[in-house]
A and B are shown apart, each in its own frame.
Chain A
Amino acid sequence: MRLDCPICGNRDRREFYYQGDAVMLERPAPDAGAAAWDGYLHLRANLAGETRDLWQHEAGCGAWLVVTRNTVTHAIHTVELASAVKEALR
């Protein structure tokens, strides 16, 4: 498996650290209520298909990335800077 780091280019999987679902970028407001916080912290869909996850280019540039990939076909669709994704959410 290889990922196209937007900064470094195409790199081997061993340079990357996997964090988890990219929902972590969408932190609820402090007063959003118990249900929203419960979902944000604990509830994950275990999909067969397209997932959106946070990875870090740990042994490279250090950037956090949002990787969209398909767990069935193993195809990697997009690799974006998490900072850019977060900026777009604002």
Chain B
Amino acid sequence: MAKLKARMPCEEMLPFTFGTVKLDETNLGVMTSVMALGEDAALSSALSDAHGVGFPKANRTLGNAGGPRCIWFGQRQAMLIGPAPDDRLQVYAALVDQSDGWCAVTVEGEDVEHVLERLVPVDLRRMHFKRGHTARTQLGHISASITRTGSQAFLILVFRSMAASLVHELSQAMRAVASRRGNG
């Protein structure tokens, strides 16, 4: 059988930097959509037992980069990132492997909020949107999941098919912000 080469969604497009902002691709490994079937509380404790992270509240994430992470992903939905899901979770949630379905990028730097405010209709400034906060919203016309991972860093997830559009939208905004700062 032919041996297929794995390709990242943004391969050959990233990384790049304009002004103070850097855009790079992130390999999140295994990603599993977790959709609650019964009680959220029962699912949360089963998730904690199996992977050490519970089921996040709306607009929040649990866990950290590197370890198991659970990002809230919609009404009674979360994305489990890192470990392959424990079989025992199947009683509490519908589990779907979406590892290859998403494009994940990290955008970071001093002007990152100014870049995102050109594209995203949610107030992402640090006073309102702190580390561990997440939002399902739009970036340009693309449906996205946006999570703050640091004081000047965000993790952005879009459908894999939107990778080139995402890079295009972000690069335009990064270029514009950098040129206004006079360091484009």
A contact residues vs B (CB 8 Å cutoff)? 7-9, 11-12, 14-15, 58-63
* Residues in B whose Cβ lies below 8 Å from that of A7: 58, 75
Given A11-B121, A59-B143, A60-B137, 7 more A-B residue pairs with CB atoms under 8 Å apart are A7-B58, A14-B121, A15-B138, A59-B137, A60-B136, A61-B74, A62-B136
Chain B nearest CB from A48 CB (Å) reads 29
B122 within 8 A of A: yes
Interface bracket on B: 10 to 19
| CA–CA, A7 and B75, complex, Å | 7
Chain B nearest CB from A63 CB (Å) reads 5
Given A14-B121, A15-B121, are A59 and B59 neighbors across the interface (CB < 8 Å)? Answer: no
* Residues in A whose Cβ lies below 8 Å from that of B74: 60-62
* Residues in B whose Cβ lies below 8 Å from that of A14: 121, 138
B contact residues vs A (CB 8 Å cutoff)? 58-59, 74-75, 77, 121-122, 135-138, 143
**Choice from A9, A59, A61 contacting B75 with Cβ under 8 Å:** A61
Asked if B138 and A59 sit within 8 Å, CB to CB, the answer is: yes
Closest to B136 in A: A60
Chain A nearest CB from B89 CB (Å) reads 21
User: 18 A-B residue contacts at CB 8 Å?
Assistant: A7-B58, A7-B75, A8-B58, A8-B59, A11-B121, A11-B122, A14-B121, A15-B121, A15-B137, A59-B137, A59-B138, A60-B74, A60-B135, A61-B58, A61-B74, A62-B74, A62-B75, A62-B77
